[in-house]
Amino acid sequence: MFELVSFLTDVMFVPKVDAVFDGSVTYHDSCSGLRELGVEKQPRKLLATVEGLELKEMAGSDVCCGFGGTFCVKYSDISGTIVSKKTANITATGADMLLAGDMGCLMNMAGKLKREGSTIEVRHVAEVLAGMTDGKPIAGSAK
């Protein structure tokens, strides 16, 4: 079993994608993807081939979002502090969209961004790589 983007780049040797995105994104490295599976350069390699996309790296892109499965339930105060720091870093990039490859992370960060009133769209990286965004962010979809 492989993580999707790692499979595309490391197993299938996909050099580029045929997608268009008119906007900026930032990318969150999930703990399991980064630390357990070694997924870091692969999504950035493919995102660099998306026509019109600007990647704005966030400070602490490799830092946990605070979800961690049941961690966010057992230690909700700590989890809340961690995700607050993460969303501050996301917002500071000025990116239109947040991407990641882990659905737990995406739900956690999307929920926090929504509660903060952010309009930053949150999507799985596969949606942008597959050209499923009509080439641009959906305005206000994080609300």
Q: Quick: pLDDT tens for 40-57.
A: 999 999 999 999 999 999
Q: Which token pair is 101?
A: 């490859």
The confidence score (pLDDT) of residue 141 equals 43
Per-residue pLDDT, averaged over 55-71, amounts to: 92
The confidence score (pLDDT) of residue 73 equals 84
**CA distance linking residue 22 with residue 142, whole number of Å:** 18
Cβ atoms 65, 105 nearer than 8 A: yes
The confidence score (pLDDT) of residue 43 equals 96
**CA distance linking residue 47 with residue 62, whole number of Å:** 17
pTM recorded for the entire structure: 0.89
Per-residue pLDDT, averaged over 61-84, amounts to: 90
Cβ atoms 114, 83 nearer than 8 A: no
CATH architecture type of domain 14-129? 3-Layer(aba) Sandwich (3.40)
Q: Quick: pLDDT tens for 87-142.
A: 999 999 999 999 999 999 999 999 999 999 999 999 999 999 998 887 666 554 44
Per-residue pLDDT, averaged over 11-34, amounts to: 94
